[in-house]
Amino acid sequence: MAIPDLVPAPLLNTIAIDPTSDAIVIAGATKVFKKSRPLLSRLRQHKGNVEDERKRNVLAVDHIDLTVKRREIVGILGANGSGKSTLIRMLSTLLIPDEGSVSIFGYDVVKDEATVQRLINRVSVEASFFKKLSPMENLLYAARLYNMSGADARRRIRAILTRLGIKPERIDAPLEDMSRGMQQKVAIARAFLTSPIVLLLDEPTTGLDPRSKIDVQHFVNELRDVHDATILITTHDMDEADALCDRVAIIDKGRIVVSGDTATLKRAVADLRGLSEPVSMNDVFMHYTASHLITEEDVQRYGSWEKAFEALEAQREEEE
Ligand SMILES: Nc1ncnc2c1ncn2[C@@H]1O[C@H](COP(=O)(O)OP(=O)(O)OP(=O)(O)O)[C@@H](O)[C@H]1O
């Protein structure tokens, strides 16, 4: 079921958009964080130790270049801590790049921050709500912030929530009584309320059951097909990336290690391994994020390549 009456709010009317220009252009974007120091080491602070300072720097996003065309659905894939959320937060004006530039339909996220904020919306796993209020009340509150008229907003909110598989009786019940997955759907509905031309989805289906995942995936497809949205999505679910994305970029330690459409990547890794059938997206992911680090010895030691990969990931997390 399409949502014809959701064709957008007047928010965008005043912003000049060249429909032929690229939706997202990331050029050499870099973000460095400083690790906070444990209290004891702060007390023992000794001045001027450059090596210590260098070690405290985390290169979360390292000179990333990526262009997303209008109406594309692009997936950003990477292990925990690889820099996906940092990249999304730079796109959504929440973080300023230390180097390079990021623009949305030609508007720079730093210089044209307010315009970019009207063009995009972001959904993340830590969406905040008034938990005692219902999904309808939470979304009406958001609609008011966006200057939407009450009756119109009500109609649109009900249509979006229903489209995402939220039962009518749930729409007016307190949000705190809903599962985390359902709350995630409400967060997606809220992000679409402004009819953003670019939607940034940071792990939108993490923790959702398979049916809810499919609801969200169908909705994302519809946003592109019916509403011309451009979508950048991060996910740990390789099947989802395969099913949903026109193109993926795999990042490792803040750098894009490979990008392309999933069919080409699956074929390329199969060729590299001398296999006649394409491999899975999981294999592609593991190949580009860890294959160079896993030796024959590791495979022997852990019993399989996948187990060796899991051990490596655990070790990486511990080091962080
Ligand atoms: N505010 C911050 N201060 C210091 N370091 C940070 C901050 N935010 C992120 N980092 C570090 O930057 C790196 C990239 O983090 P980021 O959250 O972007 O990764 P991610 O790929 O989104 O991970 P996940 O899949 O776990 O969400 C990590 O090493 C993380 O610890």
pLDDT by residue for the chain (320 residues), tens only, comes to 444 334 344 455 578 888 789 999 999 999 999 877 666 665 665 555 666 666 678 999 999 999 999 999 999 999 889 999 999 999 999 999 999 999 999 999 999 999 999 899 998 877 788 999 999 999 999 888 877 878 888 998 999 999 888 988 999 999 998 887 788 889 989 988 878 899 999 998 887 888 888 888 988 998 899 888 999 999 989 999 999 999 999 999 999 999 999 999 999 999 987 889 999 999 999 888 876 677 778 888 888 766 777 787 778 767 76
Q: How far is the CA of 317 from the centre of ligand 1 (A)?
A: 12
Tally of CB atoms within 10 A around 21: 13
Domains of the chain: 4-23+70-78+109-260 (3.40.50.300), 261-320 (no CATH)
Instruction: Kindly report the backbone phi and psi dihedral angles of residue 116, in degrees, each rounded to the nearest multiple of 5, phi listed first.
Output: -60, -40
Atom of ligand 1 nearest to the CA of 83: 18
**Burial degree of 262 (CB within 10 A; 0-12, 13-18, 19+):** buried
Q: Please tell me the residue having the least CA distance from ligand 1 atom 3.
A: 33
Atom of ligand 1 nearest to the CA of 35: 4
pTM: 0.83
Residue 239 tokens, joined: 């099947």
Q: Please tell me the residue having the least CA distance from ligand 1 atom 25.
A: 80
Q: How far is the CA of 83 from the centre of ligand 1 (A)?
A: 6
How does 208-246 read in b/e, with b if 16+ C-beta sit within 10 Å? Answer: beeebbebbbebbebbbeebebbbbbbbebbebbbebbe
Q: How far is the CA of 87 from the centre of ligand 1 (A)?
A: 10
Question: Distance (Å, rounded) from C-alpha 19 to C-alpha 77?
Answer: 27
Give strand pairing partners of 267.
none
Q: How far is CA 240 from CA 67, 124, 198, 235, in A?
A: 21, 17, 19, 8
Q: Please tell me the residue having the least CA distance from ligand 1 atom 7.
A: 33
Atom of ligand 1 nearest to the CA of 203: 27
Q: Cβ distance 126 to 202 under 8 Å? A: no
